[in-house]
């Protein structure tokens, strides 16, 4: 086991990253380099084993000048306080059963354990779940809504960026009884980094530049995650039409969501009051009177939200923006890890975006 943090404190928690060579793993390494209580011990990257981190990601060279990606070896993770799994869909469910007995806590950034109902996996992901008996052991990792369940949790399924942004926009309006739970619409625009580091035909520069494309029409796999999170938080049976759009952005995501009013006379003041009631005490959420900007959250673990009620069309709108690699992935994973380990939730997480 290799100590990859020369400035680590003696009382730090030891952590590993399984799948550290992707974008989420890279963002985890960036955050953990400045975390006062989490010390990276192991970082695996199957396709990049033996490669220097600084060679693949020069941005990390100052923090990890000599570090190389390890091949995956479960025994190398023995005794770690916590591991992050940044693996492709379908892979986490094959390694976590063995890792569970070797480490203290696991935060999975993938989608393998987010859904409670195993029947949803063949319906939305096209394959049976390999370990359905483990689904009930995982806590859904959206701290602003399920914080008490995350404190001390052994197994955490971190929320996906699409679901998180949509839930941040819709949940307060539902909880306040301002919108009906059925026929909700969640339209998002997302950056290309959400598709991961390996190149794909639809994510090359020539494919995405000067273009915006809707995808996953009517059947996007993150739809049941959004509905489940809203239902678990509010107790309401919901239905959501979710449509993502790929835009020529490196990172960032904005969700513009709509619902029909649940009663007559819902105003913009009512909608904003619901947002303030939900988020004013949250360290990573900012309620704005104006329109949120994706760039304002770049590099921060912060969500910016607002809301409107339109008397002309009779619709209520919630908007949320975040950095898909931070609050939508690695930042939220660190926030979950802090809660699981019983340390200050905000440690190691920036709240100020990078601008310009």
Closest CA to 68 of 167, 143, 2: 2
Which pLDDT does position 267 carry in this prediction?
98
Dihedrals φ, ψ of 107, to 5°?
A: -115, 110
Q: At what angle do helices 161-175 and 268-279 cross, to 10 degrees?
A: 120
Q: Is the pLDDT of residue 85 over 50?
A: yes
Which pLDDT does position 10 carry in this prediction?
55
Q: What is the mean pLDDT of residues 228-236?
A: 98
Q: What is the mean pLDDT of residues 82-89?
A: 95
Q: Is the pLDDT of residue 206 over 90?
A: no
DSSP summary character for residue 328: I
Q: Are strands 184-190 and 253-259 parallel, antiparallel or unpaired?
A: antiparallel
Question: 85, 161, 206, 257: which one is catalytic?
Answer: 161
Of all helices (H) and strands (E), which one includes residue 143? helix 143-150
Q: Is the pLDDT of residue 197 over 90?
A: no
Q: Is the pLDDT of residue 55 over 70?
A: yes
Q: Is the dihedral of CA 52, 85, 326, 242 positive or negative?
A: positive
Which pLDDT does position 72 carry in this prediction?
94
| β-sheet bridge partners, residue 309 | 316
Which pLDDT does position 2 carry in this prediction?
45
Which pLDDT does position 262 carry in this prediction?
98
Q: What is the mean pLDDT of residues 96-100?
A: 95
User: Which domains does the chain possess?
Assistant: 13-137 (3.40.50.720), 162-324 (3.30.360.10)
Dihedrals φ, ψ of 307, to 5°?
A: -155, 155
Which pLDDT does position 223 carry in this prediction?
98
Q: Note the pLDDT tens digit of each residue in 294-337.
A: 999 999 999 999 999 999 999 999 999 999 999 999 999 999 99
**Residue 246, token pair as written in the block:** 């790929």
Q: Note the pLDDT tens digit of each residue in 131-175.
A: 999 999 999 999 999 999 999 999 999 999 999 999 999 999 999
Residue 161 annotated in active site: yes
Which pLDDT does position 203 carry in this prediction?
83
pTM confidence score = 0.95
Q: Round the average pLDDT of the chain to a whole number and report it.
A: 94
Which pLDDT does position 302 carry in this prediction?
98
């Amino acid at each position: 086991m290799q100590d990859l943090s020369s400035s680590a404190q003696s009382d730090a928690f030891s952590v590993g990253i399984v799948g550290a060579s992707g974008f989420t793993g890279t963002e985890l390494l960036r955050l953990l380099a400045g975390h006062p209580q989490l010390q990276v011990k192991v970082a695996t990257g199957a396709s990049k084993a033996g490669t220097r981190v600084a060679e693949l990601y020069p941005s990390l060279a100052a923090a990890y000048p000599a570090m190389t990606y390890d091949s995956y070896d479960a025994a190398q993770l023995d005794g770690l306080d916590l591991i992050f799994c940044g693996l492709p869909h379908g892979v986490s469910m094959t390694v976590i059963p063995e890792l569970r007995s070797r480490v203290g806590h696991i935060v999975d950034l993938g989608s393998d354990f987010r859904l409670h109902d195993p029947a949803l996996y063949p319906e939305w992901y096209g394959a049976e779940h390999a370990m359905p008996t483990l689904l009930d052991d995982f806590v859904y990792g959206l701290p602003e809504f399920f914080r008490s369940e995350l404190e001390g949790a052994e197994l955490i399924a971190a929320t996906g960026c699409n679901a998180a942004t949509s839930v941040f926009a819709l949940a307060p309006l539902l909880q306040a009884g301002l919108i009906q739970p059925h026929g909700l619409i969640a339209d998002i625009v997302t950056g290309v980094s959400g598709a991961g580091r390996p190149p794909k035909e639809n994510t090359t520069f020539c494919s995405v530049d000067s273009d915006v494309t809707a995808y996953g029409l009517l059947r996007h796999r993150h739809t049941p995650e959004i509905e489940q999170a809203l239902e678990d938080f509010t107790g309401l049976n919901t239905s959501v039409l979710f449509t993502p759009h790929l835009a020529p952005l490196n990172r960032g995501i904005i969700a513009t969501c709509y619902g029909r009013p649940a009663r007559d006379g819902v105003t913009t003041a009512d909608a904003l009051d619901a947002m303030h009631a939900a988020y004013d005490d949250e360290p990573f959420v900012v309620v704005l009177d104006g329109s949120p900007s994706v760039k304002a959250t770049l590099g921060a673990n912060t969500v910016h939200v607002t809301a409107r009620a339109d008397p002309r069309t009779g619709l209520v709108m919630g908007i949320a923006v975040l950095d898909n690699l931070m609050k939508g992935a690695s930042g939220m994973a660190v926030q979950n890890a802090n809660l699981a380990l019983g340390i200050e939730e905000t440690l190691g997480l920036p709240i100020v975006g990078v601008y310009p």
